A and B are shown apart, each in its own frame.
Chain A
Amino acid sequence: MTDTVKGAAPAGEPILQVRNLVKHFPLTRGIVFQKQVGAVKAVDGISFDLHRGETLGIVGESGCGKSTVAKLLMNLERATSGEVFYKGEDITRLSGRALKAVRRNIQMVFQDPYTSLNPRMTVGDIIGEPFDIHPEVAPKGDRRKRVQELLDVVGLNPEYVNRYPHQFSGGQRQRIGIARGLALNPEIIICDEPVSALDVSVQAQVVNLMEKLQDEFGLSYIFIAHDLSIVRHISDRVGVMYLGRMAEIGTDAEIYEHPTHPYTQALLSAVPVPDPQAREQRAAGADSGAAAGRGRIILSGDVPSPADPPSGCRFRTRCWKAQDRCAQEQPLLAVPEVFRGSGTPAEHESACHFAEERATAEAA
C-alpha cells in the first residue's frame, strides 16, 4: 500500500516535541476564600512529535482535551507540567521577547468562522493585525499590499479588504482565518476543527486549500477534528485521544486499518459509512457483540468526568476487554511487546495492556 510507505518515512526532522504535557484546571469552591477542591485533568501526560512538513491529525471525542493541547502548544494556556520543545527549546517556560519570537512561527486557525473574527474590524485589519505585534515582517507602507497578497493566496478577491466578516460566507470566513494564520510566515499551523462548522460541499474547498498551502510554503500542520474521514485524507500520522491521554498514534494506515487499541477500534466502527452496502456487511457481524471480529462496536456508558477519571487505564469503564490489571496499572503509550520488531503495521504506539488487532470490515 503506497500510503504506508509514505507514512513510514516522516517528512523531516522533528520540529515540535511534546513531552508529558499536563494541564489541570483547578476546581474551586467558595467566593472570598477560594479553596481548591479538585482539578479537571484536561490533559494528563501527552507526548508526541511533529515533523517538518507533515500533518499530524488529532482525533477524539468532545472534552478529551484536544483544544487544550492546541492552546498549550500556542502558549495560550500555561502548562501545569511537561515540555514542548520547538527546535530543541522548551517553549512552555518562555516569556517576553523570547515567547513573542516563537509565537511568530506557530499560528492557529480556529473552529468557528462565525465567532473567531472580530465583527467590527475590516478583513484587511483582521489579516493585518499580526503585523502590529511583529512589524518587522511587514513595514507599515507594505501592509496593504501584503494583506491583498494573502487574500489572493487563499482564493479571495483582494478587493475585499475593506469588507466586514458578516459579508462573507462560512467557507470564506474560514479562508480569512487561514490568511491571518499565514500572515507571519509561520512554520507550524495548529488547526482546531477548521472545517467542522462548514457545509459538506464547502469543506472540500477549504481542505484542498490547506493542502495546497502546505506544499507551497512547507508548513507543518496539527489538524484537530472529529470527522475521521477528513483527518485520514489530510494526515500523515494520526493520534487518538481519550480523556486527556493519547490512546494510540501511528501513520494513517496503521491507525485506520490496523488499530490495536480498543477505543480506536470502537471509534472507527461507530463512524457511519456513506455506503449502504457496508450496512449489510456490518449487520452480518454486529449482533455477536463487541468482541465480534467485525461489525459495529456499540460502547456502553458515557465518557467519565475528567475531574474524576478512572484509575489505571482511562478507557477501562467502557472497555469490553478490561481486566483487573487495567484498573491497577496505567498502560503506557509504547509499541506493545507482542508487536515489537514484527515489521507489521500493528507495530505502532498503543496504550493498552492487551493490544491486539481486530479484523476490520474492510479486511473481510
Chain B
Amino acid sequence: MTATDTMAGAPAPATATAPLLEVRDLHVEFHTRDGVARAVNGVNYSVNAGETLAVLGESGSGKSVTAQAIMGILDMPPGRIPQGEILFQGQDMLKMSAEARRKIRGRKIAMIFQDALSSLNPVLSVGYQLGEMFRVHQGLSRKAAKARSIELMDRVRIPGARARVNDYPHQFSGGMRQRIMIAMALALEPDLIIADEPTTALDVTVQAQVMDLLAELQRESTMGLILITHDLGVVADVADKIAVMYAGRIVENAPVHEIYRQPAHPYTKGLLQSIPRVDRKGQELYAIKGLPPNLLHVPAGCAFNPRCPMAQDVCRTDVPPLHTVGAGRGSACHFWKETLGD
C-alpha cells in the first residue's frame, strides 16, 4: 500500500491542522482456541476538534475493538496490537507509559458505552459516582464534588437533579441512565468523546432526546466526537463524516453528504439500497446476499467478494487498497470508479 493510499481518508490539506485523533494502520488480533481472529486489519481514521466522525458497520466488524484500542481498555491477552499507531494530539498513545495513558483516559478522552445499566455501579448512588470523577481527578472536597455533580445532572437535563443526586441507577429510566453516562463522560471536559452505540438500547423518542443533547453539548465546545453505530439514520442526522467498516477494515470514508448521494463502495451502496423506501412499497427489498464473514476465515482478496455483485477475479486474489476518491474520500474497492459511475 502506498503512502498516498493510506492517507486517502485524512482531512483535505485545506483544513490541515493536525487532527485531534488519528488512527493509522491499526491491527488488533485475538488469540482464541479456534485460531487467530483478526478483528481489526489496518484501520485508518481521524477526527478533528469540533467534528463528529460516525463509524458504521455490521455486528462484529471491529468498531468496538478499535474504540477499545484507542481508550486502552482492550483485554490483552487475548487481544494483541501487532501493528499501528494511535496519535492523540500528535503523540502515539501506543508508545506511552501506562501512567501517561491513564492520565489521558477520562480526562482527555472519555467513552460512553452502549449499556448504561451495566456500566454504572448498582450499589453506589449516581451522585457518588459522578462526584468520584471530581474527587479523584481534581481533588475536590466531598461537598464541592456533590455541587458539581448536581450541576452536571442539570446540564444533561435530569429533572429535579438536586433531589435525585442520591438515587441509585435502577431508580432511573434507561434514557436517564444514558444521560448520566453522558454526564460522566463530560465531567472532566474531555477533548474527545467516543460514544459506542449510545442510543441503540433506547426508544426512538428517548434516542432523539439523547442525540439532541449530545449535539448541543458538542456545539457549545470544540470537543471531537466518534460515534459508533449501525443506524444509517443516526449517521445522516449528526455526523460530519463517516468511516464504514467491514471485516476489520475501513472500506469507505467520506463526508456525510457525499456518501449518501454517491457511495463509492459496493457494501455501502448495498446498505443504502436495503433501506425500505416509501416509493418502493410492495416491491422486494434490495438485500445484500450471503452472510457477514467469519473472522477466523476472512475470504482472500477483498473480504466482501462472496457477497459483492461487482466482484471480478482480481477481487478474489488482491486486497484492494484504500483508493483516493476525492478530497477526504476513500474507497477500498478495485472498482470504485464503476461503483460511483452507476
- B274–A270 CB distance below 8 A: no
Q: CB-defined interface of B189-222 with A at 8 Å, one 1/0 digit per residue?
A: 0000000000000011111110110000000000
A232 to chain B, nearest CB (A): 7
- A275–B260 CB distance below 8 A: yes
Max chain A Cβ within 10 angstroms of own Cβ: one of B173, B175, B281, B288: B281
Tell yes or no: A292 within 8 A of B by CB: no
Q: CB-defined interface of B230-246 with A at 8 Å, one 1/0 digit per residue?
A: 11111111000000000
Tell yes or no: A8 within 8 A of B by CB: no
Tell yes or no: A162 within 8 A of B by CB: no
- B285–A274 CB distance below 8 A: no
Interchain CA distance A301-B204 in the complex, whole Å? 13
Contacts of A233 in B (CB 8 A): 276, 280-281, 285
Interchain CA distance A136-B155 in the complex, whole Å? 64
Tell yes or no: B287 within 8 A of A by CB: yes
Interface size class of A (residues with CB under 8 A): 35 or more
Contacts of B288 in A (CB 8 A): 201-202, 204
Stretch at the interface among A41-49, A139-147, A223-231: A223-231
Tell yes or no: A328 within 8 A of B by CB: no
Tell yes or no: A211 within 8 A of B by CB: yes
Tell yes or no: A30 within 8 A of B by CB: no
Q: How many A-B residue pairs have CB under 8 A?
A: 114
Task: List the A residue with the shortest CB-CB distance to B58.
Answer: A199
- Residues of A34-73 at the interface with B, using a CB-CB cut-off of 8 Å, are 61-62
Tell yes or no: B284 within 8 A of A by CB: yes
B209 to chain A, nearest CB (A): 6
Contacts of B278 in A (CB 8 A): 232, 256
- A229–B204 CB distance below 8 A: no
Interface of B is mostly: helix
Interchain CA distance A201-B209 in the complex, whole Å? 27
Q: CB-defined interface of B125-161 with A at 8 Å, one 1/0 digit per residue?
A: 0000000000000000000000000000000000100
Query: If A3-B282, A199-B58, A276-B236 touch, does A299 touch B292 (CB 8 Å cutoff)?
Result: no
- B274–A204 CB distance below 8 A: yes
Contacts of A296 in B (CB 8 A): 208, 212
Taking a contact as CB atoms closer than 8 A, the residue among A169, A252, A274 that contacts B292 in the complex is A169
Query: If A204-B288, A211-B284 touch, does A271 touch B276 (CB 8 Å cutoff)?
Result: no
Interface of A is mostly: helix
Contacts of B282 in A (CB 8 A): 2-3, 6
- B287–A205 CB distance below 8 A: yes
Tell yes or no: B291 within 8 A of A by CB: yes
- B232–A200 CB distance below 8 A: yes
Interchain CA distance A20-B185 in the complex, whole Å? 46
Q: CB-defined interface of A193-217 with B at 8 Å, one 1/0 digit per residue?
A: 0000001111111011001000000
A19 to chain B, nearest CB (A): 28
- A61–B257 CB distance below 8 A: no
Task: List the B residue with the shortest CB-CB distance to A63.
Answer: B203
Interchain CA distance A298-B12 in the complex, whole Å? 36
Q: CB-defined interface of A112-150 with B at 8 Å, one 1/0 digit per residue?
A: 000000000000000000000000000000000000000
Contacts of A200 in B (CB 8 A): 58, 230, 232, 271, 274
Q: CB-defined interface of B263-291 with A at 8 Å, one 1/0 digit per residue?
A: 00000001110111010111011111101
- Ordered by A's residue number, 15 sampled pairs between the chains whose C-beta atoms are within 8 Å are A61-B203, A171-B291, A199-B230, A200-B58, A201-B288, A204-B288, A207-B276, A211-B284, A226-B204, A272-B236, A276-B256, A279-B236, A298-B212, A302-B176, A302-B206
Given contacts A202-B291, A296-B208, A296-B212, 13 further A-B contacts (CB under 8 A): A2-B282, A200-B58, A208-B285, A226-B203, A229-B276, A230-B276, A272-B231, A272-B234, A273-B236, A274-B236, A298-B209, A299-B209, A302-B206
